[in-house]
Amino acid sequence: MYQHSRVSNTVVSIEEKASLEQGARFLKWSFGKTSQKSDMRFGYEMKCLSAPITSSKSNDPTVPFEWTYSNTQCKGNYYPSSGVAIFNFILRTSLVTVTYSIIDEDSKYFSILFNNL
């Protein structure tokens, strides 16, 4: 059984950055308590493939993501058919899995699962 630690209302800003790399997009993630630009703090920059790919294991196309967090390469996938993104932060002493569920353009729900290694 998992212990509930806390609830947070955090504003997440995702901005697309210009890319010279063919077939890739870059997204800048920032976090804050309000949507004011001065309140937002840089989180990380993610690289994603522009076009979804289909795995041999599943017919559900995914959009792969890569980024660096705390000097560690991290990976995740976005599943367009369900509007769900799963991001794995595989750190030196822990594994953090963040699940985002995109409800509409302005509404997103996310949960975080934290595991000590």
pLDDT at 113 over 70: no
Range of the domain at 90: 11-116
Query: In this structure, what DSSP letter does residue 37 have?
Result: G
Tell me the per-residue pLDDT of 18-40, one tens digit each, with 9 for 90 and over.
Answer: 777 877 888 898 988 888 889 89
Asked whether the beta carbons of 13 and 35 are under 8 A apart, the reply is: yes
In a domain, 1, yes or no: no
53 occurs within a structural domain: yes
| pLDDT for the residue 76 | 92
Q: How many domains does the chain have?
A: 1
pTM for the model stands at 0.69
**What's the pLDDT tens digit per position in 50-107?**
665 666 566 678 888 999 888 888 999 988 888 888 889 888 888 888 888 877 666 6
Within-domain flag for 3 = no
In angstroms, rounded to a whole number, what is the distance separating the alpha carbons of residues 3 and 9? 19
Residue 18 lies in a domain: yes
Residue 4 neighbours by CB under 8 Å, 6+ apart: none
